[in-house]
Structure 1
């Protein structure tokens, strides 16, 4: 996970991460942050960059999740900020990327 970055306006990556926790993967029933779908959150000047993935390239809910991510982030961005959300496939998602809380919820403790 990326270190917390703060823009000159005080907007930071934790605020982005908190907003992303509102997006639920409907097939899993858990937020996409704990599921491990968010690979990178960066703030560069007045731009917020997010790299995310899906549990598989064939995810039937992928488009809906991507649209939800864009919507919640646009709602939380300060005026004048740009948003760049990229769907990436490397590294491939695996349950190892889930938060400890998510792995425990599904009984996938290491």
Structure 2
């Protein structure tokens, strides 16, 4: 389950000191208790908050700082086998969002490659290699999105190593977006 649209536009108040990332440059910002905000996006495993006219990304693990529930991740069956990792990797990537765009990075066409191979010297463990891009080369949220993907992939069973590379060749354009993504953003 993801954060969910039921929280969209909900006013919230910061209850404890919490670190967020300013959108679009990714600069860390500490929000003080008592700060008012509004949920601008509640997708994937994070929240985007509007604070004094500025968008901020709140990590799902810190959601309690504004009285919101921590979003659940992908449901991973107990009997997951190494051969399930490629399918699960794509499921996990579909829970990663650009905090400014209400479309996951797969549907947005940002993931160019997702290769899963056996990890050398580790029986049953897998290595995942991701090549992804950004909607704009200067996007300051690139490392934030890549780290989100990396952390989620590393949490999968049978995964021992993850390498996420941000690439700009070929350049991204909206022709890479799925039809559903185009409809979501009104194109």
After TM superposition, the runs of 4+ consecutive aligned structure 1 residues lying more than 3 A away are none
Question: Deviation of residue 77 (structure 1)?
Answer: 4.2
Supply the distance in 2 between the matched residues of 1:29 and 1:62 (Cα, whole angstroms): 16
Which of 23, 41, 46 is residue 114 of structure 2 equivalent to? 41
- Superposed CA deviations along residues 15-62 of structure 1, whole A, max 9, x for unmatched, are 101001111111112211111110001112221111111111101211
Which of 90, 113, 124 is residue 17 of structure 1 equivalent to? 90
Q: Does 1:82 align with 2:161?
A: yes
Supply the distance in 1 between the matched residues of 2:103 and 2:185 (Cα, whole angstroms): 10
5 Å matches for 1:60-71?
60-71=140-151
Q: Does 1:106 align with 2:185?
A: yes
Which is strand-richer, 1 or 2?
2
Supply the distance in 1 between the matched residues of 2:115 and 2:182 (Cα, whole angstroms): 25
Instruction: Name 2:130's counterpart in structure 1.
Output: 50
Which is helix-richer, 1 or 2?
1
Q: What are the ranges of 5 or more consecutive residues in structure 1 without an aligned counterpart?
A: 1-7
| RMSD of aligned Cα (Å) | 1.6
Q: What are the ranges of 5 or more consecutive residues in structure 2 without an aligned counterpart?
A: 1-80, 119-125
Aligned length: 100
TM-score, normalising length: structure 2: 0.50
Q: Which has the higher contact order (CA 8 A, sep 6+)?
A: 1
Which of 75, 96, 107 is residue 175 of structure 2 equivalent to? 96
Q: Secondary structure at the match of 2:175?
A: helix
